Chain A
Amino acid sequence: MATASAHRTRPRVGLQGLWPWALLAVLFLGLPWVFHSNASLTVLSLIGINIVFALSYNMLFGQTGLLSFGHAVYYGLGAYFTMHALNGFVAAGIAYPVEFLPLVGGAVGLAFGAVLGFLTTRRAGITFALISLGIGVLVASLAIILRHFFGGDGGLSGDPTQGTHWFGDTLAHQIQVYYFVAAWCAVCIVAVYFYTKTPLGHIANAVRDNPERAEFIGYNPHQVRFRVHTLAGLFAGIAGGMAALTNGIVTPDALGFVTSGEVLMMVYIGGAGIFFGPIIGAAIITFMQVLLSNYTNAWQLYIGLFFVAVVMYVPGGVANLFKIHMPVVRYRQLGRLLPAYALMLTPASVFILDLVFMVQMAYQFHSSSQIFLNQSFSFLGIGVEVHSGLTWALALLILAAAIGAGSLAARYVNRAWDDVAAHIKAARGEAP
């Protein structure tokens, strides 16, 4: 360690490195001024909770290469213990401030992250993924059996407005809940960021990239994975505690596989390779969930399609899209890309619209044959007959045309990118 730090040159922290933090601070403080209805504050609070959960997940996935299918265990247990602590403190009259109850969730997440992590982190790679899934299912099943603690299917509820509050009459109004979530979220973002700069954070990256070499320079990969897993449990537990106090109820769903899968999707869609990726992903997916579930029963299908599309065509997630365009903007080459993107826009939007149209039509077809509703529905103001073969044929034809036009446009985009990459290389003075 001593020799390593002697050679390390500390990166200068200039103002240009601070802009994401400034942007985040402005967003956190400013958002409730723009979106001040109770409904939008609820969504923002949900996003804040999921940001902490997603960052915790990315400590494993993006930074240590551990793909977990059971991370909701630590989130859910954190939530349950926080709720029990709230009810227990209120009943016993202990003056523990409610605002700091997520610390209970964090401690529980840390403890379970250590105990269960001892088992799961014995293996890496795909075996770890399967073991984490098995442990996740086990804990979720136990939660159903142990009704006394977990409250069965109905879950466990409590009133966060009860008990001692240090910051006035908090958690009674949505705006107070928002600031409670925002404060914890900000603390966790900073903490996880500084964790990535610690020796453990760095060696975790080494274990991800090449466990054998990490072992040769004296680090036990199992130990490193175990420690990271324990710390990730801490932050997942805090997120769970925040969720318990925000919702006032915890159900066994919080521990389940679906919750684990959702946080994986958030992190992957946002971008696991970049620190801010999970934050973007948590915001996008939470927003999509809330918005789409208002309009359609097929919202899970759309999120699934979105995820598969990102896996196939946007490696590195949404954050990576920003990252690869940074040098393009810096070398003033964006103008070369925009016409190609504009060309792509038409087939892409036609494709998406047509796909949405077909999915909605299929849902309408299904429900109309089940409960004899009317067989036509309206899409973008156009009445559509869902039982007509002509409608389906037309939709398929449009889909095929969009795919054809899209692949032609994709060729154009690729050519523009090659052009831009060559220009940037030349500007940097590299050999083409």
Chain B
Amino acid sequence: MLDNLIFTVLNGTMYGLLLFLISSGLTLIFSIMGVLNFAQASFYMLGAYFGFQLMGWSNYWVALIVAPILAGLLGAGVERFGLSKVHSRGHVAELLFTFGLSYLILEGVKLGWGVSSVNYAVPSALDFSLFSVGGLSYPAYRIFMMGVSVLVFVFLYLFLKKTRLGIIIQAALTHRDMVGMLGHNIPRIFMLVFGIGCALAGIAGVIGGNILVTEPSMALSLGPIIFVVVVVGGMGSLGGALIASLLIGILQNYMTNIDATLGSVIGLGHVQHVPLAELLNQPVSQLAAIMPYFLMIVLLLVRPQGLMGTVEA
């Protein structure tokens, strides 16, 4: 029982950190530019495919560094030559632009790597069991993933708090016009922020694409969960996104271990001839995938602004 719990928490934390890598990029872009990057999960997908390709050409360590940089450069390019052109027409136009972009990236990936999944494997140097609890072994790669995620957040924090550029970005968050008047190039800051946000998703792709599956539908299956994370956490709140990511990650992993049906868990046993009987007779593990959306609905009823969000004006 205890070993199961440890594994659930570890796996959940790992998945949660992966969600947070992507959603922190989304939140960063949203709070500074006001743009909801609909293509955020598409950059996660690009990170995975770039990682796969670079690993084939050289090795995993090169892929780990270069793939996120490529995703970030692509993001910055898209911002510079596309998104900034619709900036003057408001946030809906920007959102729709990134929606169209997600479509193009999906088609581009199908064009480049085909419609079925690619064999993006865990690097052999990290493919061993790190420790075992109660006869169950835990893969080293998952611990490595958590380590990379935490390292990225430490660097991001130091960058935003300690470097000159980071402080300018933070200032642009609250006093965009003033920062512009002080002589800083706001369009270039936007380009940089969009690039960093996309690179964060790219990192998640490189480290997550090989234990999840690298396939063209991966963006569409993860994207909505990322959006649930930011709605549950509260739009624009990094702390809220972290809590929501870990909550969803751990809860989802906990649910996948329960083989009992939903009806028996809530004390109804096997039900028949009632509406939604099929739902109640499903094993809880099958419902893990839709849990985030239920969580979102419950939260909307209880706390519409999200966990850490402020009330909308």
Contact = CB atoms under 8 A, between A and B. Distances in A.
Interface of A: 65, 67, 119, 122-127, 129-131, 133-135, 137-138, 141-142, 145-149, 212, 257, 261, 264, 268, 298, 300-301, 303-305, 307-308, 311-312, 315, 359, 362-363, 366, 370
27 contacts: A67-B95, A67-B96, A119-B300, A119-B301, A122-B300, A123-B312, A126-B235, A130-B36, A133-B224, A133-B227, A137-B224, A138-B294, A138-B297, A145-B286, A261-B99, A268-B96, A300-B103, A301-B107, A305-B104, A307-B100, A311-B86, A312-B97, A315-B93, A359-B111, A363-B111, A366-B112, A370-B114
B230 interface: yes
Interface string B26-44: 0000000000100000000
Interface size class of B (residues with CB under 8 A): 35 or more
B276 interface: yes
Contacts of B86: 311-312
Nearest to B94: A311
Given A134-B227, A145-B282, A311 B97 contact: yes
Interface in B282-313: 282, 286-287, 289-290, 292-294, 296-297, 300-301, 304, 312-313
Contacts of B301: 119
A359 B103 CA distance: 15
A189 B171 CA distance: 50
Interface centre among B82, B227, B235 (most CB of A within 10 A): B227
Nearest to B297: A119
Nearest to B296: A134
B91 A126 contact: yes
B107 A308 contact: no
Contacts of B114: 366, 370
Given A261-B99, A307-B100, A312 B278 contact: no
B143 interface: no
Contacts of A268: 96
A215 to B, nearest CB: 11
Given A126-B36, A146-B278, A131 B300 contact: yes
B304 A123 contact: yes
A24 to B, nearest CB: 28
Nearest to A126: B36
CB-based closest 5 A-B pairs: A138-B293, A304-B103, A308-B100, A301-B107, A130-B227
A162 B64 CA distance: 61
Contact of B230 (A123, A130, A359): A130
Contacts of B243: none
B206 interface: no
A131 B231 contact: yes
A135 B227 contact: no
B85 interface: yes
A363 B110 CA distance: 9
A347 B184 CA distance: 37
Contacts of A130: 36, 227-228, 230-231
Contact of B96 (A124, A149, A303, A311): A311
A393 B97 CA distance: 29
Nearest to B220: A257
Interface string B63-96: 0000000000000000000100110010111011
Contacts of B287: 145
Given A148-B278, A311-B97, A127 B111 contact: no
Contact of B111 (A145, A264, A312, A366): A366
B279 interface: yes
Given A67-B92, A138-B293, 13 more contacts: A122-B304, A124-B312, A126-B235, A137-B224, A141-B293, A146-B279, A257-B224, A298-B107, A300-B103, A301-B107, A308-B97, A308-B101, A312-B85
Contacts of B230: 130
Nearest to B96: A311
A220 to B, nearest CB: 15
